[in-house]
Structure 1
């Protein structure tokens, strides 16, 4: 029976009663065979080799899995070996298939004819209208991004070195970078592209923190009025799509502040919308602490406000750093919606270029997607780096006998 799976992957499993495994290998064969035949007919030599390896791995894996499945009936040890065989070969088949698909995809992408248009407009994707010669004398202000990033990097490095007061570099870097970049957005938004997306995301997150802290603490407050108002704010903004919030403030803010205030409308929309999610992060961070912390502080005679600001919140903030970085990633991607009110951030720059250069639409949007992915992946790496020390603290707290 197992030999049948070598000829038709999955047939042996189906005949011996292993319907799930048989169906999995049949689906894999339906996916791999058309791609492999296409690669064998017209692919490069290395692509043909990958196609042959994919087919060989599929058929040999199906046959060996069927054979081990037959032997699994002999006992528990044989069943465990059958599971190991299935896992190994399934991983091998999936890996070779993924490499084959990636090879074909990369060859198709590299072979596209209009990459020159994406390269020619790449600077526009990064800084928008700021690439114009009219702003050449002000491009030195872009070093503000390096100051902000360098300040946060030094703070992270000092935290890894266990320096207790490591926040001054981040604060100084942010202030100096903001001083350099502020004239590019006020009184008129002259910068664009990826740079504007980063400015909007950073300002949106920083201004959302006061909203998040206030309403997050209000959500767990014992005051009924404050708890009700906080709950209404959080549920309202979490229940609305961001594009609706942008339109709200795009209509409301110019009515109050006058025309030419699209930037402030976006900042206010980002801050209030993200503040609702930050408030839930704050609430979760507070609820994650043991109730004994609050009881011990009350036993020492501290008031409710003193307990929250001096005992509970400092501990909760450490737990909130990784999810806040994750929220910053989400906020960075949400800035792609602000082009609907005239700001030319990264997605807006891609839309303008794609409308102008119709022949290179795919290449343009793929370039922009890669820029989003690179920065989102870098921020995800930062989040994982921040989670590692926190996980170590939790492990040491759970096993105090292991600490030195």
Structure 2
């Protein structure tokens, strides 16, 4: 059960005003807001523990190292990874995907095939295109339908012994559609292909179990999960992380260095060159603690209420069309009003203190499929209210009246 007023007290930014109106923050799919316990964790680190990790014998270094590695274990437990060293700290989802793509450049041959879904964020398209350019591999696409759902029959036909890697988001950032990743993973494994799942949009709403999914790689960002920007994680099965070469060279990722030869450190340090975002990693752990204290079952149930409520209210506006009408959705409503550019709607509702996202949401192929320049996207979190949804609806009505 969500105690919404108590939860909102944890988020200082929700008390501010924008253009003289109370802030209504509905851009959570881009970045979630940060609760006071996570802010306190960041302040505590820089006030009491700030030191480089893994390398120092002095007290501050040892304390910072302990906190950082405890955060890794929190992430391991949250995602149910088998081993802590299967969790690699990165700067975020994009970094995580590029790390894997770079590693596969040593494993692919010309004519090998990769499969991507039509619902991907650019971060899960461009690195693989670059990989194909380097290796001569071929990129194939799982098509989508008008509801924003993937065509799994077409996917099955794309798979073959040439398929080496399949990548797909868990939840579409542009439409909110929840993809059937269990089936996608199982079918890929039948032909011996590895699977990477982009969990950036899923992790704020649900609690993925990477062992139950049997996924090879799973990636996420802290800033979607009430944590800070600039930190995220790559989960990889130990066997795959062992196969992949280091992504970057430098300090921390080495076992021994001479001018003749360098040997690399064991996991996870092999992929964590240089001084990491120590405070970010620790705060990521604190954010996971915070969300788990509320409970992901509670979060999902409440956000589904907001989604149903918002869908019903917005659907009553004449000329408004919602994109992504799958029965399986997260709390995202992506819409347009006939004859009005989404940017113009976003600009007007901002004047009323309401933050939504407009544009193609770094998912331009989806917009091309629908033959539109972009959408207005309202994305709800567990600290939003039905009153805020009402404010959005009234603001959209006002924008429509002004722009029609």
Bucket of the pairwise TM-score, normalised by the shorter protein: under 0.3
Larger radius of gyration: 1
**Greater per-residue helix proportion:** 1
Q: Structure with the greater relative contact order (CA < 8 A, sep ≥ 6): 1 or 2?
A: 2
